[in-house]
Amino acid sequence: MIHYSTHNNPRTSWQVTRSVWSALFLREATARLMASRFAWFWMLVEPLAFVVLMVVIRDLFSRVSTTQNADFIPWLIVGITVFMLFRDGVTRSLGAIEANQGLFAYRQVKPIDPVLVRNMLEGLLKIIVFIILIAGSSLLDYDILPFNPIGAIFVWILVWLLGLGMGLVVSIGAAMVESFGRMVRIMMLPLFVLSGAMIPLQVMPHTIQPYLLYNPISHGIESLRLCFFEGYHAVSGIELLYLCYWTFASIAMGLALHVKFAIRLRAM
Amino acid sequence: MIQLRNVYKRYHNHHGSEWVLRDINFTIPTGVSVGLVGGNGAGKSTLLRLIADMDAPDRGDISRNCRVSWPIGLSGGFQGSMTGRQNVKFVARIHGDENEIQRIVQYVEEFAEIGPAFDEPVKTYSSGMKSRLAFGLSLAFDFDVYLSDEATAVGDIAFKEKAKKAFKRRVGQAGLIMVSHSEGILKDLCQAGIWLQQGKARWYDDVYEAINDYRDSIGMKK
Give B152-193 pLDDT, tens digit per residue: 777 788 888 888 888 788 777 888 898 888 888 888 888 888
> Alpha helices of A9-111 — where are they, by DSSP H?
13-34, 39-61, 72-94, 96-99
CB contact under 8 A, B107 and A105: no
State whether B70 and A106 contact (CB < 8 Å).
yes
Average pLDDT, chain A: 88
Residue among A99, A109, A266 minimizing CB distance to B94? A109
Q: What is the pLDDT of residue A254?
A: 96
Chain B residues closer than 8 Å to A7 by CB: 67, 95-96
pLDDT value at position A101?
Answer: 86
pLDDT in tens, A75-108: 999 999 999 999 999 999 998 998 888 888 888 8
Q: Closest Cα to residue B178, out of B20, B11, B28, B7?
A: B28
Closest-CA residue of chain A to B54: A107
Measure B117 CA to nearest chain A CA, in Å. 19
For chain B, give the secondary structure using H, E and C.
Answer: CEEEEEEEEECCEECECCEEEEEEEEEECCCCCEEEECCCCCCHHHHHHHHCCCCCCCEEEEEECCCEEEEEECCCCCCCCCEHHHHHHHHHHHCCCCCCHHHHHHHHHHHHCCHHHHHCEHHHCCHHHHHHHHHHHHHCEECCEEEEECCCCCCCHHHHHHHHHHHHHHECCEEEEEECCCHHHHHHHCCEEEEEECCEEEEECCHHHHHHHHHHHCCCCC
Contact B143 A102 (CB under 8 A): no
Nearest to B88 by CA among B116, B122, B115, B54: B122
Instruction: Give which of B65, B95, B110 to mutate to test A binding, by max A Cβ within 10 Å.
Output: B95
Question: What are the angstrom distances between the C-alpha of B5 and each of A53, B26, B27, B28?
Answer: 65, 7, 9, 12
Contact yes or no for B98 and A7 at CB 8 A: no
**Mean pLDDT, residues B21-50:** 87
Q: What is the pLDDT of residues B50-65, one digit of tens each?
A: 888 888 888 888 988 8
The pLDDT score that the predictor gives to residue A4 is: 44
How many residues in chain B? 222
Instruction: Give yes or no for residue A233 having a pLDDT over 60.
Output: yes
The region of weakest confidence among A74-88, A149-163, B67-81 is: B67-81
Q: Decide if B76 and A7 are in contact by the 8 Å CB cutoff.
A: no
pLDDT for B45? 85
Residues in chain A: 268
Among A132-146, A186-200, A238-252, B103-117, top mean pLDDT goes to: A238-252
Give the least confident one: A247-256, B116-125, B129-138, B167-176.
B167-176
Q: How many CB atoms lie within 10 A of CB A42?
A: 10
Spatial neighbors of A41 by CB under 8 A, at least 6 apart, are none
User: Residue B48: its chain A contacts at CB < 8 A?
Assistant: none
DSSP A213-250: TT-HHHHHHHHHHHHHSTT--PPTT--HHHHHHHHHHH
Give CA–CA dist A144/A146, Å, rounded.
6
**pLDDT at residue A67 in the model:** 65
A103 against A36, higher pLDDT: A103
Tell which of B13, B47, B94, B139 to mutate to test the A interface (max A CBs under 10 Å): B94
> Is A19–B77 a contact, with Cβ atoms under 8 angstroms apart?
no
Nearest C-alpha of chain B: how many angstroms from A130? 30
Q: What is the mean pLDDT of residues A41-61?
A: 84
Between CA A243 and CA A221 the distance in angstroms is 10
Residue A9: pLDDT band with limits 50, 70, 90: low
Size of interface A-B (CB pairs under 8 A): 89
Q: Is A5 on the interface with B (CB under 8 A)?
A: yes
Residue type, B41: G
| Identity of the highest mean pLDDT range in A171-175, B97-101, B137-141 | A171-175
CA–CA min distance B62, chain A (Å)? 15
Yes or no, beta carbons of A2 and B103 under 8 Å apart:
yes
* Cβ neighbours, 10 Å, residue B145: 23
Spatial contact of A35 and A189, defined as CB atoms under 8 Å apart: no
* A22 and B CB contact within 8 Å: yes
Q: According to the model, what pLDDT value does residue A5 have?
A: 44
